[in-house]
Amino acid sequence: MSIAAHGCHKALHRSMNSKNCSVVTCATRDDLVPLPESELRQLSQDARGFVSDRFKARENYEIVRRKMELLPKFNHNELDLGRVLGKGKFGVVTEIRGFNLSEKNGSSSQHSLIKSHGEIRNFMRAHCTHRGSHDTTSSRYAIKMLDQKHCAYEDDFFTGVVDLAVEAHFLAAMEHPHILSIRGLSVDPYGSKSFFVVFDRLYDTLNERIEEWRFQQHRITRGFNGLFKRKIKNKRSVICF
């Protein structure tokens, strides 16, 4: 759906009588009223179509689609969330302290894909935390989802869910040691208000990572320079002999 079509779609839904619609329970500020559930569902459907059309033209669409399908899926109530790690314009990143997995999403099913999901889910539950340098327990994973205050605005909601869906597709398409790895998705489809992404938690800021990379590069360069000098010295010794 084009942005212009979305604008027409918004005007149509503003004419709806919200008193006859059930309202989604969203964690919004007291001065914000969430949109009717029917309108959020329609906006979610439009967002899925918008993102799908954008990525279908890419050569690796089927690979990314398959990878997202293979990622384990989680219900929001299966996550034991900790403190908020950061907020962006639309999203909120929160640490995952543990997984409270339900049996119905486990590995008991005979279906190979669901069984694989169950095995990965159980692995993530068993390795959700690790010991830090000061013998402190730290979480390995974090979750990113829409800041629910945007349920009150059509433009913000549509843009926010599209932004998160696009990010999930890009993370699934890329594999790089300096890019966060996507580890799971919500059971709810992308585009919905409850969609979220599970990825490795990042403990360093970008500036700290850059300094670490510079230090590593310096060590590597110094090592090569030392090796090069030793080789030259050895060659001179052989010539003198």
- CA dihedral for 99, 104, 108, 109, sign (positive or negative): negative
pLDDT for residue 29: 45
Helices (DSSP H) in the chain: which residue ranges? Answer: 3-14, 37-56, 61-70, 112-126, 154-173, 206-240
**DSSP result, 187-233:** SSPTTSTT-EEEEEPP-S-HHHHHHHHHHHHHHHHHHHHHHHHHHHH
pLDDT at 59: 86
Q: CA 26, 30, 31, 34: dihedral to nearest 10 degrees?
A: 10
Instruction: Give the pLDDT of residue 190.
Output: 95
What's residue 201's pLDDT? 86
Residue showing tokens 């030392």? 226
Q: What are phi and psi of 63, to 5 degrees?
A: -65, -45
10-residue stretch averages of pLDDT, the chain, 241 residues long: 44 38 41 88 95 89 90 94 92 94 56 74 90 70 94 95 94 78 94 95 61 63 59 54 50
Model confidence, pTM: 0.69
pLDDT digits (tens, 9 = 90+) for 168-216: 999 988 877 667 789 999 999 999 999 999 999 877 554 555 565 566 6
Question: What is the rounded distance in angstroms from the CA atom of residue 228 to the CA atom of residue 153?
Answer: 63
**Can you give the pLDDT at residue 24?**
38
What's the chain's Rg over C-alpha atoms? 24
CB 152 within 8 A of CB 39: no
> What is the per-residue pLDDT for 175?
75
